[in-house]
Amino acid sequence: MHPTLFHIGNFAVHTYGFFVAIGFLLAISLAVREAKRVDEDGEKIIDLALYILIAAIVGSRLLYIAINWGDFRAHPVEMVRIWNGGLVFYGGLIGAFLMTVWYLGKHRLHIWKTADILAPYIALGQSIGRIGCFFAGCCYGKVCHHWWAVTFTHPESLAPKGVPLHPTQIYSSVNAFLIYLVLIRLRRSKKFEGKLFWVYILLYAITRSIIEFFRGDHRGTLLGGLLSTSQTIGIVMALVAVFMLFYLKRSSHRKLH
């Protein structure tokens, strides 16, 4: 579509990076407001967000490079050009989760309460960031013959040009926004800490695995090509999420009794 938003002299503002930045800033501002509402330290949420940003970018890029190692081996300089797209969300999620565990342990904050503060806004920020994917043409879909198919024509687009494709970036954006709405709704009736975070993981793992069937870009394969890398990770994450939801629910009941 429009990979470059505008130029300031020789400096290009890439649409992908712009939407990722907007999503991040909005998510953090809302998370800080929520932290104050539940009597948590908003300043520590801001500090944590900066650590998460770095860990998420590094983790998501490393997983993308691992999946597409054949391409990067021949052109290693492309590894650092993240403004052209190329971030795998699960890699960022894993990196962000590990960083969060370290940070919360260091500052003695409640991990699941903090995770619940962040979860809805991670989904919202992700929804906005996926719009950047659409403009860059990354994460594109398979050939589509329905009326909602999109055809990329911009010469800098990362998607195949002149071919009607499933708008999987829009699928992902809408999906993340719906998850955000579900989490905001569940927040009113939450019975134990950690519920929102693990419901987010469960919903995302299931829906992302479904959207993967419509993706046309190379994402790596496992189990003899039966599943993509993200689908395999999604299955594992869904099982972990179900276990953690039962475990945290039982633990909360024991504390009450």
pLDDT digits (tens, 9 = 90+) for 48-83: 888 888 888 888 877 777 776 666 676 666 666 655
Q: Is the pLDDT of residue 253 over 90?
A: no
This prediction's pTM: 0.84
pLDDT of residue 43: 84
Q: Name the residue type at position 165.
A: L
pLDDT of residue 240: 95
pLDDT digits (tens, 9 = 90+) for 174-216: 999 999 999 999 998 888 999 999 999 999 999 999 999 999 8
Q: Is the pLDDT of residue 87 over 70?
A: no
Q: Is the pLDDT of residue 227 over 70?
A: yes
Number of domains comprising the chain: 1
Name the average pLDDT for the chain.
85
pLDDT of residue 45: 84
Q: Is the pLDDT of residue 47 over 60?
A: yes
pLDDT of residue 199: 97
pLDDT digits (tens, 9 = 90+) for 142-179: 999 999 999 999 888 888 999 999 999 999 999 999 99
Q: Which domain holds residue 90?
A: 4-256
Q: Name the residue type at position 230.
A: S
